[in-house]
Amino acid sequence: MPLMKSWVISANDAAHPFPLNNLPYGVFSIDGGEPRCGVAIGDMILDVTAAEAEGVIVLADEPLFDLPFWNPLMEEGPAVWAAFRNRVTALLADGAEEPNQIAPLLVAQNTAQMHMPFAVSEYTDFYAGRHHAQNVGTMFRGPENALPPNWLHIPIGYNGRASSVVVSGTDIRRPWGQLKSPDQELPAFLPSRRFDIELEMGAIVGTASDGPITVQEADDNIFGYVLLNDWSARDIQAWEYQPLGPFQAKATATSISPWIVTKAALEPFRCETPRRAFELLDHLKDCGPMLYDIDLSITMAPKNKEATVIGQTNFNQMYYSAGQQLAHHTTSGCPMNTGDLLGSGTISGPTKPERGSLLELSWGGKEPLTLDTGETRSFIEDGDTLTLSGAARGDGYTIGFGDCSGTLLPALDDPFKR
């Protein structure tokens, strides 16, 4: 599919992340006003809340965009998702009949503050990138035992904290936690010394389900995708994770990009999952191309200094797709809700520059990175800003997500002081 032309001129730049082919969904405010639903087009945002109020967009008997999140539209299901996308496309396409009516509903992105684009119902994070799992397992158990025996048969995950999912641009506070190094007899309560990121994609459940669903049904139920940074305190994790896995080490924050890129916008970029080491059981088998060709990158910028690209990979490196993760999640009868967020797991490639976490990039701190500033890093230092970026590139256009950024603030002097 080539670039779709818009009368919003900035949307026709091949390198711009928000062409008419994309139309991602976000929540924005202007000058401290009430947050509103909006669709990105070029350098502008179409105020969808205003468009609905003025009768330009009408999809249901009751308003869908009078609340500052996209869950009401998500609840309506794929037919209404398609109708909305078709209507917005028609309003913004080159040659549209109503540009003079729509132009007053556009606001400049550079004047807007972005907010959480949807209300997160629950959050599950997976461990579904083989290169990441192989790297981490090799560090701690050796290459022969790197992957747990179940890893090549099911997508492994844990239930995270929906309450600590935040939008890009939110500062992250270095957490305190219980730490124990091998040379200590007893643990101590201290600020994390090995704070890290994980480069992930987040899949958003649109259609709720109650009971097991197939991989195809699961794929159909996904509304869209965001970039996701699973901030991780590696030293807290090392002490707490046995036998039940991550807990406080992952509870500090999870950052997401401000724009939901719909599954419809990503359809031209579908690609196959990697070759399987074992044939998956029937309820997890691929039902077509299940991944997406999305280039991903990580940059690190020390306070008031230039950023360095520290990692570059692609979403096509995942071993399990979001559809397979969601289908597996439902096999026990677990209901899935509109607004559930599924983290893909860290996305790493086969070579060192393609690794998606500092734990891997510095090999547990043994091989510190040298930034373009000349400084070195094994893990994140106070004042560092970490930014995830992603883009799918088509014929004369780019599908972007908006950056997913966060700056690490120092730990509180006394976490219990009120």
Positions marked active-site: 132
Sequence-distant (6+) residues with CB within 8 A of 418 are: none
For 302-384, where are the E strands, in sequence order?
A: 308-314, 341-343, 369-370, 376-377
Residue type, position 135, single letter: N
CB-based burial label for 365 (10 Å; 0-12, 13-18, 19+): middle
154 contacts: CB under 8 Å, gap ≥ 6: 284, 328
Under a CB-based contact definition with an 8 Å cutoff, are residues 195 and 358 in contact?
no
Query: Would you put residue 327 in left (φ > 0), alpha (ψ -120 to 50) or beta?
Result: alpha
DSSP 8-state code for residue 407: E
Please state the three-class secondary structure of 98-151 as a single string. Answer: CHHHHHHHEEEHHHEEEECCCCCCCEEEECCCHHHHHHHHHHHHCHHHCCCCCC
What lies within 8 Å, CB to CB, of 168 at 6+ separation is 114, 227, 255, 256, 257, 258, 402, 403, 404, 405, 406
Phi/psi for 300 (5° steps) reads -125, 130
Distance CA 131, CA 383 (A): 29
Residue 278 burial by Cβ neighbours in a 10 Å radius (0-12, 13-18, 19+): exposed
Q: Which two tokens stand for residue 261?
A: 């890129």
For residue 410, what are its two tokens?
A: 């120092």
What is the rounded CA–CA span in Å between residue 36 and residue 97? 25
